[in-house]
Amino acid sequence: MNPALNDKTFSGIGYTEERMTVSGVINKSIILWMILAVGAYLGWKNPAVTAPLMLPICIISLILALVIIFKKTTVAILSPFYAFGEGLLMGTLTLFFEKDYPGIAFNAVFLTISVLFCMLAAFKAGIIKATNKFYLIVGISTLAIFLLYVAELILSLFGITGFTFIHSSGTVGILFSVFVVIIAALNLIIDFDMIQKGVAFGAPKYMEWYGAFALMVTIIWLYLEILRLLGKVRR
């Protein structure tokens, strides 16, 4: 489950006369995605500059995300920097994939947008409901994937290849990526539900930025997993 949006997101944040609205979240999302697009363009066009900086940018983006999650009032200031940094990373990484598999960038973007709108339509129509059981299943699955990625990263630092199927282009590797893409997509339902709850609870205006930021976190994860899946299929 998206760590930026959970059942404690709107607790203890205080309330003001200016309240969070869905349209406000959409407007803030547009701003953040425009900033991300600028970063992605720069990353795509200047790989010689951004590629060596990918690790530092990744670390800084992670720090910004954690600060935002634990200090929500900073979101309006820090989320644009997070979006720009993630844009640099996504643009550079996508370029690497595009060079190996021409056309993959367009396919990844198209599929991500398609999944986003399909999940939104399913949520609005009540086809997929964010019940407590749904939260539990998606949350446990997301945590399991996260722990697996962390374990794989730690092992790789010691030269140990313990979970090769994560990167494998074989049947198991592709099925794993399909599973992760599905879980990432289902996290969008939780994001939509939590944003809706924030509006219903009368959360303060700055939480529009937080909702936009949280939604961006999930969409970026979804995009990267789709990009990885397409890369495996093309191999």
pLDDT of residue 88: 97
The token pair that represents 15 in the structure block: 């309330």
pLDDT of residue 16: 53
In sequence order, which ranges of the chain are alpha helices (DSSP H)? 22-45, 47-50, 54-70, 75-100, 104-124, 132-157, 171-200, 207-234
DSSP state of 3: T
Say how far residue 13 (Cα) sits from the centre of its chain.
Answer: 23
Q: Please report, rounded to a whole number, the percentage of residues in the chain having pLDDT higher than 90.
A: 79
Residue 162 near residue 155, CB atoms below 8 Å: yes
Asked if the structure places residue 2 within a domain, the reply is: no
Asked if the structure places residue 57 within a domain, the reply is: yes
Domain that holds residue 52: 22-234
> Is pLDDT of 156 > 80?
no
Average pLDDT for 34-55: 95
To the nearest 10 degrees (0 to 180), the angle between helices 75-100 and 104-124 is 130
Say how far residue 35 (Cα) sits from the centre of its chain.
Answer: 15
Say how far residue 70 (Cα) sits from the centre of its chain.
Answer: 17
Asked if the structure places residue 87 within a domain, the reply is: yes
Residues in the chain: 235
Residue with tokens 């869905």: 22
Asked if the structure places residue 14 within a domain, the reply is: no
Q: CA 182 to CA 128: how far, in whole Å?
A: 13
Counting the structural domains of the chain, the total is 1
Average pLDDT for 8-22: 67
Asked if the structure places residue 67 within a domain, the reply is: yes
pLDDT of residue 5: 58
Give the three-state DSSP class for 169: coil
pTM value? 0.88
**φ/ψ (deg, to 5) at 71:** -135, 80
> Is pLDDT of 158 > 80?
no
Residue 61 near residue 53, CB atoms below 8 Å: no
**φ/ψ (deg, to 5) at 160:** -105, 125
Asked if the structure places residue 218 within a domain, the reply is: yes
Asked if the structure places residue 5 within a domain, the reply is: no
Asked if the structure places residue 199 within a domain, the reply is: yes
